[in-house]
Structure 1
Amino acid sequence: MDHVVLEVGLAIILIAIAGLLSAKLRFSVIPFYILMGMAVGPHAPKIWHFDFRFIESAPLIEFMGRIGVLFLLFYLGLEFSVGRLIKSGRSIVVGGTIYILINFTLGILFGLFASLPIKEILVVAGITTISSSAIVAKVLVDLKRTANPETEMILGIIMFEDVFLAVYISILSGLVLSGSTSVGGVILSALIALGFMLVLILLGRKAVPLLNRLLNIRSNELFALVIFGALFTVAGFSETIHVAEAIGALLVGLVLAETEHMKRIEHLILPFRDFFGAIFFFSFGLTIDPFSLGGAVWLSLGAVVITLIGNFVAGMLAGRSAGLSPKASSNIGLTIVSRGEFSIIMAGLGKAGGLLPMLQPFAALYVLILAILGPLLTKESKMIYKALDGIFKFKAPVKETKLKTQEEG
């Protein structure tokens, strides 16, 4: 542990270099952070007799990365609000169901096509179904799309995915680790996850007047301590009841967005979001072994193609169900195509259960490709939509067509 501070300092410098390089090339910064982490991670080779790999500091950097995810989702919640989320409740449930059904079904079919055993098929389906909340949050904020009409559906799908994840991990853990699972336990996990989200949202909205008074703190130091304490406590508690800590952070942001102190909180969080968010993607790269990826190339590429198709179709259908325009609907599918932390968790579950070793390199390469493609597709979504609209001639939903007719009249 003698050189941890030095390693963390060097890591920050490398992250800054990756950021400067991405700005120079005018490309999304996320892939640069990940690739930089891969280049200097514990799995990277030594350079001559020097060892520049981040080994001693890897656990600390990983923890700082977890903090980064919390700040990213918390800030995204601040940019949104509970009110907007509640108004879109029904459409979010419909859209989330469409998204999960399409992507999970495609994941199962892909596993069958690859002739994998049943347990491996279930793990692969989990890997390919859940999008990365951290990458999605980063892209939405960077591209200033938090006020877009489709953002409600994107956030809703992320939360819906978390309920699905709580249920699915309960089932998969039973099947993979112990060979059995309890239906009652699965139902209980789902109800606890859903109930926690609903209670926090509804109580948070009712408590806005009280929160306004409690947060009327003149000292910036005390104000920061209160906000950070609430963020970490709720996020940490969320994890204990099998709700992702990132979703807990998102919920805290949604609640505080309703208060009169929202702008002050946003100003406070911004530098922490940027700093720790960058460390998250770097730490994610540290976990990937570049020399284990070769054996999973074709399987990963096949899964990427399936995911791109499934996400676009799911986004179009989810958006149409909510009465969004074809362009906004296409943004949904292109924005949530990124895969990340949850896919790696699924692969880790397969490893713990002694399943085929190919699951780890498959997940790593699959996630890496989509972590690079996702932000790029989101940034160029307008051009992609125009190209596809020229081929398929997308039609606006009935709601939107009627609205335009009334406006013209």
Structure 2
Amino acid sequence: MLSDFPSLLGAGLVLLGIFLLGYIGLKVKFPNVILYILFGIALAGLLDHNSILHFSSEVAIVLLFFLLGIEFNTKRLGGIAKKIWSSGLLDVGLSLGVSMLIALGFGMDLFTSFLIGGITYATSSSITAKLLDDKGRMANAETEYILGILIFEDLIAPIIVAILIALSSGNTFTGLDLVILIGKIVGLALIAIVLGKTLFKRFEAFIIKIEDEDFKIVLLVGLAVSFGGLALFLGLSEVLGAFLAGVMLAEIGKIERVEGTVTPIKNLMLPTFFVYFGTTIDLGEGIPLPVLLMVLVLWSVIAKVLVGTVGGKLYGLTKRVALRAGLSLCARGEFSVVIAAVAVGSVKVFSGIYIVVTAFIGMILFSYAPKITRKIYGQPEKKKKDLKVPTYY
């Protein structure tokens, strides 16, 4: 019986499946993230309550954003924040606001329309970060802008979740509740900054003294998971907490010491997040509201491309780089799943199908973004080297 299926056996089979799918993905040059999600959907009935898989996926996403946060010390983060707010608000208006209006136009009530707007809003931080890493685009000109948008969305999405949960439970979400929520986000960020400037200022020297690599892993993973857990305790996202934990350690001199220790653990566990993500999606029977689904999927792509092209220009990117950024922001993922959990009945099934479709389309557009950009704008001009030609008399 499925209920008697051991969690440990399930986790072991998942790891073997991940290896097989990863190997196939490398051979056929197909995004392995898509294969992992499909694998999760196929195993949904068997592993939907697997505690080991769930825990592993939680730790994986925390470590991914912990390592991202390490790349952003407070000075760099402050510079991005000053530049990203206008593009972030454009994202809220297009991806959430217009989607909400579309749902209202299809006869949805205000709460359901806001719910659908929330589901269509946030780009999948985990999928996008994984693809940036896999495709070797971390050093690209658009990456800082993409990460800035993801961070902005990670700040807005918890507010959306809190409002929806309050409304779905019948409680009113007051202005005071919003102020408290924003206060928690600011407070957590301040804690990270203060600890980074004081307690962890000489962390590098402490790390060097620890010769046993196992103890380093325990310490660093413990810091990342604890800060992610603190964020959850405060009613925020563990992704935000993990990112801030990384920012906290970004002040040390040589961040590669931390990266070299944590990256292998992240690489081992991260595929389990995408498998677990697949197990949370209930496709149900048939496709409810197919016309609305097609319209929202189309608009979701258009909205993010506009966030890239228009918002990227506001941020200071060139047309070419801004388009590449927009095409890389289309995948929906973990926050959409969290918000969709509030839905019931056909809206929940609708939400699951939407997330799967946009995740796949987003990953494909990400993979082909450089080619599409070259197709539209042509090959980038190579910078001419100022060579001095010897003159003979």
State the partner residue of 2:106. 114
In the TM superposition, what is the alpha-carbon distance from 1:283 to its structure 2 partner? 0.9
List gaps (5 residues or longer) in structure 2. 387-393
Structure 2 equivalent of residue 301 of structure 1: 294
Provide the residue aligned with 2:351 in structure 1: 363
Deviation at 1:40, TM superposition (A): 2.1
Q: 1:23 to 1:297 in 2, by over 3 A?
A: farther
Q: Is the 8 A contact 1:295 1:361 kept in 2?
A: yes
**3-state DSSP class of the match of 2:201?**
helix
Q: Please give the per-residue CA displacement for 1:317-338, whole angstroms capped at 9, x wherever unaligned.
A: 2211111111221232222211
1:287-335, CA deviations, whole angstroms, 9 ceiling, x for partnerless residues? 2234435235433222110100000001112211111111221232222
**Structure 1 residues not aligned, in runs of 5+:** 43-52, 352-356, 391-403
1:265 equivalent in structure 2 = 258
Q: 1:16 to 1:155 in 2, by over 3 A?
A: same
Shift, 1:76, TM fit:
2.2
Q: Deviations over 1:333-362 (max 9, x none)?
A: 2222111111111111133xxxxx122111
Confirm or deny: 8 A CA contact 1:77 1:250 kept in the other structure.
yes
Asked if 1:181 corresponds to 2:184, the answer is no
Measured on the aligned residues, the alpha-carbon RMSD in Å equals: 2.3
Counterpart Cα distance in 2 of 1:340 and 1:196: 24
Match of 2:362 in 1: 374
List aligned pairs for 1:195-206, cutoff 5 A: 195-201=187-193, 203-205=195-197
Contact 1:162–1:243 (CA under 8 A) maintained in structure 2: no
* Per-residue deviation, 1:88: 2.1
Match of 1:48 in 2: none
SS of structure 1 residue aligned to 2:341: helix
Counterpart pick for 1:32 among 35, 42, 47:
35
What is the match of residue 135 of structure 1?
127
Q: Match for 1:284 among 277, 281, 296? A: 277
Matched residues, percent identical?
A: 27
2:244 maps to 251
- 1 CA distance for matches of 2:308 and 2:190? 24
Amino acid at match of 1:110: I
Q: Partner of 2:44 in structure 1?
A: 41
Preserved contact between residue 95 and residue 153 of structure 1 (Cα < 8 Å): no
The residue type paired with residue 348 of structure 2 is: Q
1:80 deviates by 4.4
User: Secondary structure of the equivalent of 1:294?
Assistant: coil
Contact 2:7 2:51 in 1 (8 A): no
Cα distance change, pair 192–328 in 1 and its aligned pair in 2 (3 A)? same
Matched with 2:19 is 16
Q: Equivalents in 2 of 1:275, 1:241: separation in Å?
A: 28
The alpha carbon displacement at 1:82 in A equals 3.6
Which amino acid letter does the alignment assign opposite residue 21 of structure 2? A
Structure 1 residue 149 displacement after superposition: 2.7
1:103 is aligned to 2:106: no
Contact preservation (8 Å) 2:62, 2:239: yes
Deviation at 1:206, TM superposition (A): 5.4
Q: Which residue of 1 aligns with 2:62?
A: 70
What is the aligned counterpart of 2:10 among 1, 7, 22? Answer: 7
**How many equivalent residue pairs?**
377
Query: In the TM superposition, what is the alpha-carbon distance from 1:119 to its structure 2 partner?
Result: 0.9
Aligned-pair CA distance for 1:116: 0.8
Deviation at 1:253, TM superposition (A): 2.0
Q: 2-side partners of 1:143 and 1:202: how far apart?
A: 35
Q: Return the alpha-carbon distance in structure 1 between the equivalents of residues 363 and 75 of structure 2.
A: 28
TM-score relative to the length of structure 2: 0.89
**Residues 129 and 2 (structure 1 numbering): CA distance in 2 closer, same or farther, change over 3 Å?**
closer
- 1:230 correspondence with 2:223: yes
Q: Deviations over 1:254-274 (max 9, x none)?
A: 332332342122122222212
